[in-house]
Chain A
Amino acid sequence: MPSLEWGAPTWPGAMAVAAFLVLVGGVVLVRAQGKGPADFAMPKAETSPGQSAKGKAAKAETPKNEDCLACHADKDLERGGKRGGSLFVDAQVLDGSRHAGLDCASCHTTATAPHDEKLPRVDCAGCHADKAEVLKTGVHGSPAAARAGDRATTCANCHGTHDVRDPKTLGTERCAACHQAQVGLYRESIHGKARARGDTEAATCTSCHGPAHTLQVKTDPQAPTYHLNLPRTCATCHGDPEIARRHNIEVGDVYKLYMDSIHGRAITRSGLLVAANCSDCHGAHDIKAKDQPTSRVFRTNVPATCGTCHAGVLREYRQSVHGQAVAAGSTIAPICIDCHSAHEIRRVEAEGWKLEIVRECGTCHKESLRTYRDTFHGKVTALGFTRVARCSDCHGAHDIYPTRDVRSTVNVANRVTTCAKCHPASNENFAKYDPHAEPENVDRSPLLHYTWKFMVWLLVGTFSFFGVHTVLWGVRSLVGRNGGRHAPPPAEGSDQEGQDA
């Protein structure tokens, strides 16, 4: 078997390994056909080094299980030396395991009965050569993992020794043996709790990290948890609206929305490692529902979560009237996602967003939106024109302050400057323009109010007069046609008859 050592994994290298593994796997399968586990363990050929060792032992006389248990059934049997430790073997555990029916010597191939020397570590690859090869492709089988001392990954770390179980039954507790902190967080997470409730669809370690044998660290571009791969990994479940429906998840098409958002596009189009992926906002092992106060996406935690990347914006927002209100416990004051949305975040320069944001402000500031819509600014933005003033052009966005605050862009002291952003020649008089003038409000806009009233009455009056007049005229023209204007004046009767003819 050729040595399979390499440095950083590369695509051609990985492909070669994969091809080789398929070949080896095929051979093993062919050889294993028609054999039970016990048969499989019995050496037939003496081609590989492991098997030749077995062969020698067999020649020396392979001990039977009774021979081994003669000593190892003793519960007090201990290993000598510094490490110590029990050498007791419970035959019932073995019989209840996946390896039931195998002889001791099937794994402990060099054992003799009795033996003085410490037996070498069991080489699972003697039977599971395919798995051993696969393991080498993942981080758990990497040279680094092998050098990790006590925490070095061995087959037994996960699968156990005499109590080896069906791999499908291996749970998160096996991972916790080494990754205690992560699994601890996971158990408190929405996924962990759902699993604990018996939800078999909820994610476990391998759902996100992939199978343990081939598992890659998240810095590896092949890993399903790699920054650029994670959204697709989460989408294996959260891309399915059916799953969302079954689990009462509000946003069914979250994956599509995210992939079309500025964050999703930065990930997929630019491969931008600093663009937020799912875990940047929701966490990874500690994902919690948004109604949990400890969730990163709990309403009052959202600004801080976004602020981990958008620190400058967060600083401005915290000072603003909205940020202050949220800090004071308001549940209606806007947080980042109210304006920017959560999964559909777009560039603020996008035309569509520029128009929608006006409506968004209006969900709370209803009166302001109504009066704005009645002005020139509001009407042309309603028609899709974005070059005129929208809410944020005058009021600011993250740095909105109360009007009386001198920092406010619409404070009386700053108005000329604010108007001048679009109207460069703005002056004191011009800045008296009320962008939220109300025709109905005589106190706020007297001149506008009386002009409006006059115009409405003029319209109603003129139109009523014209309307009534026209109706009367029409009726009379039809009813009195022969006795009306067409009746010839007596003095010119003869002329008229001539013309009518």
Chain B
Amino acid sequence: MSDMLPRFTLHRRVEHLAVMVLFTILAVTGFPQKFADADWARWTVDVLGGVERTRWLHRMSGILFAVFTIVHVTVALVIGLTGRSWSIVPIRKDFTDAVQTLRYYLGLADQPARFDRYDYRQKFEYWGMVLGGGVMTATGFILYLPVLAARFLPGELIPAAKVAHSNEGLLAFLVVITWHIYNAHLSPDVFPFDPSIFTGKISARRLHHEHPLEYERMVGAAEHKP
């Protein structure tokens, strides 16, 4: 048994990197448009070279983000439907895991739940990301091409799309800076930095602590190999 175990394929690592970069660009170019009255918004837009360039960057990043979302969902469906893995889909155990873990946090239980490949927090974040990404993509295109959208959808949807896009963007941003940054950087378990999504590998020790069921399956499978 080696010290490092595989966790993420190259495809997942590239996806994460792309989403990380695009998410940052989208936030930097998007929030000045949401908080247009603020001084920092004007400053940011000036630094980026004006409103037109800011919007162009936002839209191009948005299109790329949408492409990654579509590819991701398609690949996930293929993997799932061909019976290889549904590991990211929430199941009832996630709910009981959450209750158990919260009890543990509050000191009502001695042990946190024992997690499989993805724990309930990761699934929560993942589905927030995928569903949020879907909302952002759909509303983003309505705002990008409002006249085209109005050929199929009522005109009243445009302001609604704007409010959804704007608030979902803020939500995603807040989740990332609180939940994800905590998970991947600040948590004492991984501080200062969890490199597994970049290297694709995780130490056997961490996998054993954080995803014991996955660890047992992998180690068990390895042991069965000749």
A458 within 8 A of B: yes
B42 and chain A: residue at smallest CB distance: A383
Give Cα A462 to B175, complex, Å. 8
Is the beta-carbon distance between B33 and A455 smaller than 8 angstroms? no
A281 within 8 A of B: no
B215 and chain A: residue at smallest CB distance: A492
Is the beta-carbon distance between A470 and B182 smaller than 8 angstroms? yes
Return chain B residues, CB-CB under 8 Å to A480: 107
Return chain A residues, CB-CB under 8 Å to B6: none
Give Cα A65 to B199, complex, Å. 124
* A476: contacting residue among B50, B105, B168, B208, CB under 8 A: B105
* B155: contacting residue among A383, A430, A467, CB under 8 A: A430
Which of A42-50, A130-138, A272-280, A433-441 is the contact stretch? A433-441
Return chain A residues, CB-CB under 8 Å to B223: none
Is the beta-carbon distance between B37 and A499 smaller than 8 angstroms? no
Is the beta-carbon distance between B36 and A470 smaller than 8 angstroms? no
Give Cα A434 to B151, complex, Å. 16
Give Cα A451 to B164, complex, Å. 7
Give Cα A108 to B30, complex, Å. 94
Count contacts on B: residues with CB < 8 A to the other chain: 62
Give Cα A495 to B51, complex, Å. 58
Interface string of B191-211 (1 = CB under 8 A from A): 000000000000111001110
B133 within 8 A of A: no
B179 within 8 A of A: yes
* A430: contacting residue among B150, B170, B209, CB under 8 A: B150
Is the beta-carbon distance between A486 and B209 smaller than 8 angstroms? yes
A381 and chain B: residue at smallest CB distance: B36
Interface string of B154-192 (1 = CB under 8 A from A): 111111101110011011001100110010001111000
Known: A481-B188, A485-B112. A431 touches B33 (CB 8 A): no
A200 within 8 A of B: no
Interface string of A85-115 (1 = CB under 8 A from B): 0000000000000000000000000000000
Known: A427-B150, A469-B121. A434 touches B205 (CB 8 A): no
Is the beta-carbon distance between B167 and A452 smaller than 8 angstroms? yes
Give Cα A445 to B159, complex, Å. 9
Min Cβ gap B8→A in Å is 21
* A485: contacting residue among B154, B158, B174, B209, CB under 8 A: B209
Chain A interface residues toward B at CB < 8 A? 373, 375-376, 378-380, 382-385, 387, 423, 425-427, 429-434, 437, 439, 445, 447-448, 451-452, 455-456, 458-459, 462-463, 466-467, 469-470, 472-478, 480-481, 483-487, 489, 492, 495-496, 499-500
